[in-house]
Amino acid sequence: MNFIAVAVAVVLVLSGCTAGTSGEPGAGAEKPKPSDQIAKALANVTSVHPSTGMTLLEGPVVGPDGDLYFVDVTAPPGAPKVMALDVGSLEKRTIFTDGTSAVTSAQFSPRDGRLYLTDYLGTIISMTPEGKDQKVFHSGPVNGATLHADDISFDRAGNLYVTDAAGAQEPYWKPQGRLIRIDGTTAEPTVLADRLASPNGVAFTPGFDGLWMSLNTANQIDYIQLTDDGRGVSTAHPAIHVSAGMGQIDSLAVDADGNLYVGFHNRAAIIVFDATGQQKATISIPSKEGEIMSATNIAIKPGTKDAYVTASGKGGGWIHTFTALAEGIPQSNGG
């Protein structure tokens, strides 16, 4: 398969192909709430790739060594697709690359401590934090359809709850995405829900009693309760409708107080909701026009309020920092 075509397709899929907004704070805004913040630039870690015309960072996760791991979805073959940044010295190193994949997220499993990468083309691989001992965890269609794997949330036992973002280029009224459980031990997939409007983010609540899932083409966040064995859906309802305008919601993260952090495409901001659906804060990413067009996801270093955002646009791929509203837990670190 032609990688550039794939990468461009992924960009179109993930960006929604709409015009960007500046994300500049202040313009026309009401007086900020005390919790509103402007993120600080930590490091410019990638540039726009000439062959794909994009760089698109995602999947931030603080590793066991304290370094920040992240992915570049649109990196061309052989270019760094997963990198780790020493947030002190700002030195970065390549963890993973290959010739075909479009890596959409990264997260460490609580079961084996390995780094799991989702590939939008349908594969999930795992490796050591150093990128060694690479193993295919899942590949191939699920119930006859390609798994367009986007984000992962692990349960306590290390089973994977994966969004299948299929339909991201289709109108929302042609929903074809899915929520899929993949057993952490056997890698057996189970479709929990289908006909969804391109699911993207997924994150358990602090007590693992519920699951938030964002629908990228519907700008809606659903709340799901699973059956006791985690292999089925008990209840589900639309919980939060996000007024994103020309933006589209992306990944999700949950902190120790249950606050829900929502990333965006075509908007340079993270919005934070509480579990009742009330908006608590906006984290704005400073950007000149078009320089930063997405703020896809965050990671909060577990046990601290040190938070990182993956932000991208014509100005390259950036890591920004902000102070989280509460401490980080596994549900706010990666995926």
Q: Work out how close the CB of 123 gets to Ca ion at its nearest, in angstroms, rounded to a whole number.
A: 16
Non-local (6+) Cβ contacts of 111 within 8 A are 154, 157, 158, 184, 185
CB of 228 to Ca ion, least distance (A): 28
Q: Which two tokens stand for residue 142?
A: 């699920």
**Token code pair at residue 128:** 């050591």
Nearest CA to 138 out of 117, 153, 167 is that of 117
Residues that bind Ca ion (CB under 5 A): 150-151, 200, 250-251
Q: Which residue is nearest to Ca ion (CB)?
A: 251
Closer residue to Ca ion (CB): 150 or 255: 150
Point out which residues pair with 299 in neighbouring strands: 308, 333
The radius of gyration of the chain's CA atoms, rounded to the nearest angstrom, is 18
> Nearer Cβ to Ca ion, position 128 or 176?
176
Write b or e for each residue in 183-214: b if 16 or more Cβ atoms lie within 10 A of its Cβ, otherwise e: bbeeeebeebbbebbbbbbbbbbbebebbbbb
What's the N-to-C CA distance of the chain in angstroms?
26
| Shortest spacing between CB 281 and Ca ion, in angstroms | 20
What is the smallest separation between the CB atom of 201 and Ca ion, expressed in angstroms?
6
Smallest separation (angstroms) from Ca ion to the CB of 251: 4
Q: Which C-beta is closer to Ca ion: that of 72 or that of 150? A: 150
Name the residue nearer to Ca ion (CB basis): 25 or 115.
115
Residues with Cβ within 8 Å of residue 7, at least 6 apart in sequence: 51, 52, 54, 73, 74, 76, 102
Q: How far is the CB of 264 from Ca ion (least distance, A)?
A: 10
**Complex with Ca ion: residue 25 or 251, whichever CB lies closer:** 251
> Residue 255 has which token pair?
């902190």
Which residue, 155 or 250, is less far from Ca ion as judged by CB?
250
Q: How far is the CB of 215 from Ca ion (least distance, A)?
A: 12
Count CA atoms closer than 13 A to 14's CA, side-chain side.
37
Nearer to Ca ion, 150 or 164 (CB): 150
Min dist CB 30 to Ca ion, Å, is 29
Nearer to Ca ion, 25 or 153 (CB): 153
Residue 193 DSSP SS3: strand
94 token code pair: 């390549």
For residue 125, what are the CA distances in angstroms to 12, 86, 92, 290? 24, 23, 22, 33
